Structure formats: structure tokens, C-alpha cells
Amino acid sequence: MLVWTLKGVGLIVGVSLLGTIALRWIPPPTSAVMVERRLEAWWSGRAYKVDYRWAPWDRVSPNAGLAVVAAEDQNFALHHGFDFESLQKALEAHERGRRLRGASTISQQVAKNVFLWSGRSYVRKGLEAYFTVLIELTWSKRRILEVYLNIVELGDGVFGVEAASQRFFRKPASRLAPDEAALLAAVLPNPLRFRANRPSAYIEERRAWILQQMGQIGGPAYIGQF
């Protein structure tokens, strides 16, 4: 029994490793989040269409990458998948009575969006950590950010900056201006509640903050390092 268990674990590890390595070069045909959204719509009897358009790194404005890093993971270039400093700050703020905010890195978000289901179980968190380590070991930072920009959910059925840019601004992602990129980043991490095409006062305020942070972390030159 132990031998078969070890073989099963080895097979799972091998398949996941090969799949992760393949995605270093191959655009993901879909993501776990896209599949989950389709299943939720099917179960509820709601019509649902995924708008997902892959755009390679050189066809995405540097403003898009700069905006999501400024909004979501300002230590992206420095950490190896896990930002323990941000996590500690989040926990300390929670202890002072503030709402507990997420401290997931872009690498962790890629891991869970591409490979995993929604939830907060220990099993899922363990798998998230496992895939985060695999991604950090086998992909470059540029590839991690490229995949994130393409699979991140930015609206109901809208995945990736190319689809979002075409949908909300009627232009390709290569032509996203700083304020437009900041607006897309501002709806994260709740794009089903907040809308880039109809920003609330809160989203406008968050966009202004992101634009400020984009300059402080280095502007377009920051993205040029990847």
C-alpha cells in the first residue's frame, strides 16, 4: 500500500512539474478560475461567456504591469514567491483593529488562478504554496507577470488586460495609458463588485493612489528590469 501511495504521489508531482514547465512557454488555454466561473453559471442556469485574449509581453503596455505591481505586490522583484514582510504588516494591522487584508503575492495569485479552486482549506493553501514554489523555480519574473496580466479576472467574464482594454477602452493593451492601467488595477481583488467602466468614488480614489505608487516604485523603468 505504501509503495502505491508513493508512486501516486510521485506521478502527481511529475505531472504537475511537467505542466508547470510547459506553461513557461505555452499560453494557458484556460485557468481554474475560468472553469469555475463557467461551472457556477451552468449550475445557476445563467448565460456566461469568457472573454480571454492572450497578449504576449511585447504587446502589453508596460503601464499595465507597473500598475498591478504597484497595486498588488510592490515587493514582486525582491521576493521568491512569498512576501513575509507584507504578511506581517497585515497581521499587525489586524491586531490593531483594522480589517484583515490579503497579502498574496502575484506569484501566489498566478498559482491559485491557473491551477486551483476557490476556498480556504489547509489542503488548498498547501497546494497554493506548492505551485507557487514550482512557478518561482521554473519561470522568470517576466513570465510570472506576463501570465498574471493575461489570466487575471478584471470583470464579469473578462480575463486579462487585452480583453479588458478592448472591452472598456476600445483599444489594445499595447496602448493602455497610465491612468487606464491604474483603473484596471484598482478593481482588484474584487472585479465582480467593482467595475472599471463605471468606477465608483472609491475606485477613483484608489486609481489616484496607484498612479502615485507607479511613480514611486520607479515608473516604466521598473518594468524594464524583467
End-to-end CA distance of the chain: give it in Å, rounded: 47
Q: How confident is the model over 60-114, as pLDDT tens digits?
A: 999 999 999 999 999 999 998 888 876 666 555 545 555 545 578 999 999 999 9
- pTM listed for this prediction: 0.90
Confidence (pLDDT) at 100: 45
Dist. CA 202–CA 186, nearest whole Å: 9
13 Cα distance to chain centroid: 23
Strand partners, 155: 158
